[in-house]
């Protein structure tokens, strides 16, 4: 790992100011970024640690939305979101392993937008709003492709606001070595419609499976998606699974998620 300076601001405004320095990059829980730095895939001059900003931590209800601070760890979401949004708490409880969950944060996961990460599916599948120091971005406009988001250079994910569905389930086909999903489906059933988000499958990262949503809006049951399939074109293919295999898993994981909440 190349050397860098570390800044530890205690407010969002100081963090944004520090990000104005040359070659500065935000550091949240570091569970992806630190291994990335070790592999010399990134070489910032300054890392701006966000974990000392108390305003960016915590889980609370605001009206009918569940609001989670950007620097909130997966372990905290697992514990504190359970009473409000169990489907999301269950997703957080299955990220990585216990030690990773004690460091990794929701803001870090959403800012990185790994094509196989869990939180992008939870955010897109819930129709969440990503709140930054500058603006609010609907999840539908936020995920721009593999490792790409709508975030600007000096933008920090300060909070994520989740509408709470009547029921939701995240079904993850785990890749046991990395503990990332090989493919996972997040299905959320709201009174005004169903959302289905798929992670781990597409070369463009998380996506909504609109065909399944339409079928489930008509008839919410695993049978409704049984006959549907997604094309293997554009699906990730690697030594862990071919693109055809991943395309197949999209259907299987969605059916399992639907079956568990139907």
Q: Which residues contact other proteins (rule: CB under 8 A)? A: 1-6, 8, 27, 30-31, 34-35, 37-38, 47, 49, 51, 75, 96-100, 102-103, 177-179
We find the least distance from the C-beta atom of residue 146 to other proteins, in angstroms, to be 21
Q: Which is nearer to other proteins, 15 or 225 (CB)?
A: 15
- Residue 89, Cα to own-chain centre: how many angstroms? 12
We find the least distance from the C-beta atom of residue 42 to other proteins, in angstroms, to be 12
Q: Which is nearer to other proteins, 62 or 97 (CB)?
A: 97
We find the least distance from the C-beta atom of residue 210 to other proteins, in angstroms, to be 34
Q: Which is nearer to other proteins, 179 or 256 (CB)?
A: 179
Q: Which is nearer to other proteins, 96 or 127 (CB)?
A: 96
Q: Which is nearer to other proteins, 63 or 176 (CB)?
A: 176
We find the least distance from the C-beta atom of residue 38 to other proteins, in angstroms, to be 7
We find the least distance from the C-beta atom of residue 27 to other proteins, in angstroms, to be 8
């Amino acid at each position: 790992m190349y050397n860098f300076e570390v800044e530890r601001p205690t407010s969002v405004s100081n963090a944004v100011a520090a990000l104005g320095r040359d070659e500065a990059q935000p550091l949240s829980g570091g569970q992806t970024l630190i291994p990335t730095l070790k592999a010399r895939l990134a070489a910032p001059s300054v890392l701006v640690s966000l974990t000392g900003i108390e305003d960016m931590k915590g889980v609370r209800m605001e009206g009918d939305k569940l609001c989670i601070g950007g620097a909130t760890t997966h372990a905290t979401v697992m514990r504190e979101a359970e009473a409000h949004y169990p489907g999301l708490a269950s997703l957080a409880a299955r990220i990585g392993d216990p030690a990773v969950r004690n460091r990794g944060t929701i803001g870090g996961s959403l800012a990185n937008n790994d094509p196989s990460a869990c939180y992008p599916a939870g955010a897109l599948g819930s129709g969440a709003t990503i709140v930054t120091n500058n603006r609010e971005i609907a999840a539908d406009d936020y995920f721009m492709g593999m490792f790409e988001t709508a975030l600007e250079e000096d933008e920090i994910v300060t909070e994520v606001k989740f509408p709470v569905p009547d029921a939701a389930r995240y079904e993850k086909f785990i890749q046991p070595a990395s503990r990332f999903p090989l493919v996972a489906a997040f299905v959320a059933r709201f009174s005004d419609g169903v959302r289905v988000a798929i992670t781990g499958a597409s070369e463009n990262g998380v996506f909504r499976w609109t065909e399944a949503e339409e079928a489930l809006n008509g008839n919410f049951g695993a049978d409704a998606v049984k006959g549907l399939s997604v094309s293997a074109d554009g699906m990730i293919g690697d030594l862990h699974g071919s693109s055809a295999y991943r395309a197949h898993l999209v259907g299987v994981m969605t059916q399992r998620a639907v079956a568990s909440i139907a």
